[in-house]
Amino acid sequence: MLSEALRKKPGHAPVLLRLAQVSEEKGNLPEAAGYLRQVLRQEPDNADARLELGKVLFSLGDIRGAIEETSGILKARPSHADALYNLGAIYANLGNAERAREYWSRLIKTNPESSMAQRASTLLTQLPASSL
């Protein structure tokens, strides 16, 4: 059904996003990344596609790509809660507590009532102490 919808409307972002989701659920991350890149060619400012592509790239081990895609969201939307949270998580997973702290603190400051900020607040307490 999705393939038929895509055939009728090539490049239709909602269909491509759904195909990416299905591919990701099946564990086919390279295919998911391909669909997400197609969305971004059509809609370069699609923050949902860029955020998801960042997650997929991280899972594929493309850390640089994950950071670039996720950071790209912040250029247009500097207080985007999910992007700030994910960048903090990427850096925390890389062992870079200072950068994780930077993004999570920014998230808490700009989106204090969000569930992402609450999670970031908890995670900040689990980071190693600052080396300053």
CA end-to-end span of the chain: 56
Mean pLDDT of the chain: 92
Q: What is the pLDDT of residues 83-114, one digit of tens each?
A: 999 999 999 999 999 999 999 999 999 999 99
Domain membership flag for residue 126: yes
Domain membership flag for residue 52: yes
Domain membership flag for residue 73: no
Quote the pLDDT of residue 11. Answer: 75
**Domain CATH number, residue 42:** 1.25.40.10
Q: Are residues 18 and 54 in the same domain?
A: yes
Q: Are residues 48 and 95 in the same domain?
A: no
Q: Are residues 129 and 101 in the same domain?
A: yes
Q: Are residues 85 and 132 in the same domain?
A: yes
Residue 7 has pLDDT above 90, yes or no: no
Number of domains in the chain: 2
Enter the pTM of the model: 0.88
What are the backbone angles phi and psi of residue 124, rounded to the nearest 5°?
A: -60, -35
Range of the domain at 107: 78-132
Region 19-26: mean pLDDT is 96
Residue 62 has pLDDT above 90, yes or no: yes
What is the DSSP annotation of 101-127? Answer: HHHHHHHHHH-TTSHHHHHHHHHHTTS
Domain membership flag for residue 84: yes
Q: Are residues 52 and 86 in the same domain?
A: no
Q: Are residues 48 and 96 in the same domain?
A: no
Name the residue among 64, 57, 72 with its Cα closest to residue 20. 57
Confidence at 12, pLDDT banded by 50, 70, 90: confident
Region 26-33: mean pLDDT is 97
Confidence at 35, pLDDT banded by 50, 70, 90: very high
Region 41-50: mean pLDDT is 94
Give dist(CA 39, CA 103) in Å, integer.
Answer: 26
- Lookup result for tokens 């995670």: 123
Residue 132 has pLDDT above 60, yes or no: no
Q: What is the pLDDT of residues 116-130, one digit of tens each?
A: 999 999 999 999 987
